[in-house]
Amino acid sequence: MDASVNRIKSSEDEKSLIIGIRFAENSAESVDYSLKELELLVKTAGGGVCDSLVIKRDRIDPAIIIGKGYIDIIGQIIEEKKLTLVVFDLNNIRPAQIRNLEQMLKCRVVGRTEIILDIFAKRARSAESQIQVELAQLKYILPRLKGLGGVLSRLGGGIGTRGPGEKMLETDRRHILNRIHALSVKLKKQQSHRNRIRNGRSGEFTGAVVGYTNAGKSTLVNILARDDLFVEDMLFATLDSYTRSVHLSYGEKTLLTDTVGFIRNLPSHLVESFRSTLEDIRNAAYIIHVVDISAPDIETNIKTVEDELASIDCAEKDTILFFNKKDLLDAGHRENMIVNKYPDAVIGSAREGAGIDALKDRILGLKRAELPGANNNSAYYN
């Protein structure tokens, strides 16, 4: 199969060069931040990043992305550092571009989408998430099969061998389409099961925890529910949605669902395939939007999540902003900025338990507004 759909080896032996493309409209800071995020993605996928490069371009070269002037520079870096992988900070790289670059660089080439798909494939644990990830991978591969035609047509080694290559291409296409259909049927069964569970919670006050990947959503759910969901300081540590009961006050509780994290330029196939999981957000009465207060680009992270919420028609839901990881701040300047810009937000640390009582009070306030007739005696909540 073409290098554009190959998975990265789960080994530090996979040494890579990551390349960012800076266009005239991009700031140096935004490109650097995106490149650092790509480095984390590569490491999460199991690779090692040996070097990085930012290339200024007016436009993408249709044949090799970067233009011939940089080929020798990149080739020299690959040779000197004995690299096996080049990763572009781009979402949609055409198969022809990858093929051309691999021929010139003698090295595998992938894009940001392939890295994210690889991470999701490694992180998927439940049957549902495994189906969702495989669907996303196949839907990503399918339109790119056409770009493999030239390679497959040469498999016979000479004149008159085009036919077998084309037949192989059509066989691959049919196999993928059949697999997509089979997985879609399985996913619908999983969706039906999930819907039955949702219907069983119809009388409960439910919320969904969303946020940029690695913002600390699972850690927050753990401390709120006194549970032990899998937590690790890495991107997309968990893909499966879990619902837990959270005690708010005497006799009062809420159900909270931990959802998959978002990231900039999240592949559309992943969003589509995880649509059933994201339905937990649509069915929630309110949302807790967890933000890493120590992140370099808070505004972009917030906007990314808000855009994804808007794409699933959840932009108007009651939302509590919880700025997490306060314990990682060295000084109070950023905290003061957050207080001034987001006066209704809760600032705290899920790891240290800071701000949790304030967050529970906010949830309780939403519950009172949602269910005005339920336990409205103020002394009941003390």
pLDDT the model gives residue 241 = 72
Count of CB atoms situated within 10 Å of the CB of 6: 14
Residues 334 and 312: their CA atoms lie apart, in Å, by 31
d(CA 338, CA 110) in angstroms, rounded, equals 37
The structural domains of the chain, with segments of one domain joined by +, span 3-121, 124-187, 203-381
| pLDDT, position 74 | 95
- At 105 the pLDDT is 93
203-381 CATH choice from 3.40.50.300, 3.40.50.150, 1.10.760.10, 3.40.50.620: 3.40.50.300
Tell me the two tokens of residue 241: 């949605």
Q: One fold for both 3-121 and 203-381? A: yes
* pLDDT of the residue at 379: 32
Task: For residue 134, count CB atoms less than 10 angstroms from its CB and return exposed for 0-12, middle for 13-18, buried for 19 or more.
Answer: buried
Q: How far apart are CA 11 and CA 299, in angstroms?
A: 34
User: At residue 160, what is the residue type?
Assistant: G
Residue 204: its pLDDT value, please?
A: 84
pLDDT score of 27? 86
- Cα–Cα distances (Å) from 137 to 95, 122, 269, 342, 349, in that order, read 15, 12, 8, 38, 36
- Where do runs of H (alpha helix) occur along 226-282? 268-273, 275-282
Q: Give the model's pLDDT for residue 330.
A: 77
* 3.40.50.1970, 3.40.50.11060, 3.40.50.2000, 3.40.50.1820: CATH of 3-121: 3.40.50.11060
**Per-residue confidence in pLDDT tens, the chain, 382 aa:** 343 344 444 445 688 999 999 998 888 888 898 899 999 899 888 889 999 999 999 999 999 999 888 999 999 999 999 999 999 999 888 888 988 999 999 999 999 988 888 888 887 777 888 888 888 888 888 877 765 444 444 344 433 334 444 555 667 888 889 999 999 999 888 877 777 776 766 678 999 999 998 899 988 998 998 865 544 555 665 666 778 889 998 888 999 988 878 888 777 777 776 776 677 888 899 999 999 998 888 999 999 999 989 988 899 999 999 999 999 887 677 888 899 999 999 999 999 999 999 999 999 999 988 765 544 443 333 2
218, two tokens: 């699972």
- Give the length of the chain: 382
**In sequence order, what are the residues at sequence separation of 6 or more whose Cβ sits closer than 8 angstroms to the Cβ of residue 63?**
96, 97, 100
DSSP codes, 7-61:
PPPSSTT-EEEEEEEE-TTS-HHHHHHHHHHHHHHHHHHT-EEEEEEEEE-SS-B
CA-CA distances (angstroms) from residue 364 to 6, 206, 253, 294, 368? 48, 12, 9, 27, 6
Q: What is the pLDDT of residues 217-258, one digit of tens each?
A: 988 998 998 865 544 555 665 666 778 889 998 888 999 988
Are the CB atoms for 92 and 111 separated by under 8 Å? yes
Residue position matching structure tokens 């198969």: 95
Q: What is the pLDDT of residues 307-359, one digit of tens each?
A: 989 988 899 999 999 999 999 887 677 888 899 999 999 999 999 999 999 99
